[in-house]
Amino acid sequence: MERFGVDLWLAPAFNLHRCVLCGRNFEYLSEDPLLAGRIAAGITHGVQSHPGRGVTIKHLACNNQETNRLNSNSRVSPRALRDLYLRAFEICVRQAHPAAVMTSYNLINGVHTSESAQLLEVILRQEWGFDGLVMTDWVVDGMTRSDMKHPRATAAATIKAGNELFMPGCETDRQGILSALRGQDEQVELSRSELEKQAARVVRMVWALAGS
């Protein structure tokens, strides 16, 4: 990381091996949440023991298939979600305090993970005590097709839910945020205080990595 000037590593990825056809299984760690969480925590401890270096654990959550991964809706019961799909992330967050978390493309029970305040603010931050940065996976206009069943996640809704960094970001996303701030978005109303809260979290992360 130091050689390439990388401060924040977009890894480790440790969703569970739930389908042999998942194209990311080669980088995921295990089919067992306890094992995956412990290994991810070890990786996180190792990387972040170096000053000015952080990891981004991903993909929160239920990113366990490759087919239609940009627009799939994972239907999961609360118990299965807690006991299986979130358990590894909880272990890593509580034991190793990763610098950042990346949300997944898929929806969970009809809600984009990047737009879920229940997942990001309630579970991740309030219950697990996460105090780092939350970012999306790479959500770009080119990924959106007219035949997609679910609408694309938006920057404004993502910010309102507690996700600080909408990646990679474009002019359309900026205009969407401004529209929500002005009360011109029929779906999302974004306040200045909500935007400032998320912007402050980004700045704190920059300071934390640069000041180490």
**Which residues form the catalytic set?**
137
φ/ψ of 76, rounded to 5, equals -135, 135
Neighbours of 13 (CB within 10 A): 20
Look at residues 112, 152, 151, 149 and name the one whose alpha carbon lies nearest to residue 134.
112
Look at residues 28, 65, 92 and name the one whose alpha carbon lies nearest to residue 75.
65
Contact 92, 40 (CB under 8 A): yes
d(CA 133, CA 165): 8
